[in-house]
Amino acid sequence: MFAMPNGTGAGPAIWIHSDLPDRHAFRGSYGGYAFPLWDRRTGNEVSNFAPYVIAGLSATYGQPVAVESIFDATAALLSATTYTRRFAWDLEESFAHIPFPADSATFAAAARIGAEIRALETFARSPAQRFRTARLAGRATGVTLAVPTPRLAYLDDGAGGGFIPLQEDQSLRIAGVPNGVWEFAVSGYPVLYRFLSARNGEALDAPMHRAILDLVWRLTELLHWFDAADAVLADALVRPLTNADLGLAPASPTRPAGLDSDHHEPDDTPA
């Protein structure tokens, strides 16, 4: 998992990579923090989760909890649509706190959603067919990608979607792009526009067509799972496990992340 140290803004609080990413990936400078699931220095099956966290969750839920499930549940809870908006103040002050739910069914739902998010963000699978609504329209008059400036790069159709000109004369377009996909950003980084503009001047061939469509479809499905995670986050916040529940060291006495504006004693802080 990769997290920004500040300037979180709207968008998920973390992103998942299959390999260690460029620390400046979502900003261009002042890079973030990487949290690997596995500690390969000590063996292929040793995770970076503290053993007492795994034991605490397993005891709470009455059955062994796999480290992959903890990773996926974390991914879902920190990717929920409202997480960064709800806890924006806290995220400027400290790392994200994870409101693991006391209810095992809620944890299982988070893990299922997080596994889908992980698969999409690490390119482990293709976007599902029902999210492949965007399509190519027209025929290019040129041979290279030429996406206009941001003001002209997305033209709203007035029905919750729009199209992106892939050439300045709009001879080739990606149509049916949801507004949310175009506006999607991580820490203020507009993912789709930056992807396209960085490739201006490159060959507008079949591989480029596939790459652009894949990204639009992938973001479309990710936003679906982020919304699904939001419902799970709401359930988790009804009764989140605390540091004390999981045997963690007391948190800093500063205003804890993950708890709106109410101050709680340090050992009541969500993990």
Band of pLDDT at residue 249, cut at 50, 70 and 90: low
Alpha-carbon distances of 37 from 40, 63, 87, 133, 199, rounded to whole Å:
9, 21, 24, 33, 32
Q: What is the 8-class DSSP label of residue 226?
A: H
> How far does Cα 46 stand from its chain's mean position?
25
**Residues 175-201: what's their mean pLDDT?**
92
What was the pLDDT predicted at 75? 96
What was the pLDDT predicted at 269? 52
pLDDT by residue (tens digit) across 76-98? 999 999 998 888 777 777 778 89
Q: Quick check: 153 and 196 in contact, CB under 8 A?
A: yes
Query: In this prediction, what percent of the chain has a pLDDT beyond 90?
Result: 62
Band of pLDDT at residue 28, cut at 50, 70 and 90: low
What was the pLDDT predicted at 92? 74
**Residues 52-71: what's their mean pLDDT?**
94
Q: Which residues pair with 138 in a beta bridge?
A: 172
Query: In this prediction, what percent of the chain has a pLDDT beyond 70?
Result: 89
Alpha-carbon distance 99 to 86, whole Å?
13
Q: Quick check: 195 and 208 in contact, CB under 8 A?
A: no
Band of pLDDT at residue 6, cut at 50, 70 and 90: low
What was the pLDDT predicted at 245? 83
Highest mean pLDDT range out of 1-5, 86-90, 118-122, 160-164? Answer: 118-122
Band of pLDDT at residue 210, cut at 50, 70 and 90: very high
What was the pLDDT predicted at 264? 33
What was the pLDDT predicted at 193? 95
Band of pLDDT at residue 263, cut at 50, 70 and 90: very low
Give me the DSSP letters along 143-210.
SB-----HHHH-EE-SSSEEEEESSTT-SEEEEEEEHHHHH-EETTEEHHHHHHHTTTTSB-SHHHHH
pLDDT at residue 270 above 70? no
Tokens standing for 109? 């739902």
- Cite the beta strand spans of the chain per DSSP E: 2-3, 14-15, 33-34, 135-138, 155-156, 161-165, 172-178, 185-186, 189-190
What was the pLDDT predicted at 216? 98
What was the pLDDT predicted at 271? 58
